[in-house]
């Protein structure tokens, strides 16, 4: 196998591992389903509002921030569980700080969503109600 073929095969393996990790998060983390539901709702509302590209870019980055925090938190929890199967105060700190990172990302995404989706959504609702 030549160098280019090995490169392609190794990239395919990397993608397979990444998708396996993605599926693990979806399968095992209840909050991931909440993120998935809210992501879907935000995308549908954004399409309905015909947002500008810049608004879409901010929403996509914000959604990615939340998902990235959730994935990193899940990885951190797995590593902490491996390193410290018994209860330990520092293991708790690690898990709590990881959860706090997800919370910060989620709260930030709510604020960004309200700032971007709020005004045009309110305008559409007012139009629908006053017809």
**Which residues are known catalytic residues?**
70
3-state SS of the chain? Answer: CCHHHHHHHHHHHHHHHHHHHHHHHHHHCHHHHHHHHHHHHHHHHHHHHCCCHHHHHHHHHHHHHHHHHHHHHHHHHHHHHHHCCCCCHHHHHHHHHHHHHHHHHHHHHHHHHHHHHHHHHHHHHHHHHHC
């Amino acid at each position: 196998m030549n160098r280019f073929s090995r490169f392609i095969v190794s990239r395919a393996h990397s993608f397979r591992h990444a998708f396996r990790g993605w599926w693990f998060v979806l399968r095992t983390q209840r909050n991931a389903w909440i993120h998935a539901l809210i992501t879907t709702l935000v995308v549908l509302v954004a399409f309905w509002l015909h947002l500008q590209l810049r608004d879409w870019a901010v929403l996509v980055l914000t959604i990615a921030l939340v998902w990235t925090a959730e994935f990193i938190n899940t990885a951190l929890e797995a590593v902490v569980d491996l390193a410290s199967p018994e209860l330990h105060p520092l293991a708790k700190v690690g898990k709590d700080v990881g959860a706090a990172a997800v919370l910060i990302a989620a709260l930030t995404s709510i604020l960004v969503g309200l700032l971007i989706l709020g005004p045009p959504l309110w305008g559409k609702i007012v139009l629908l109600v006053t017809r």
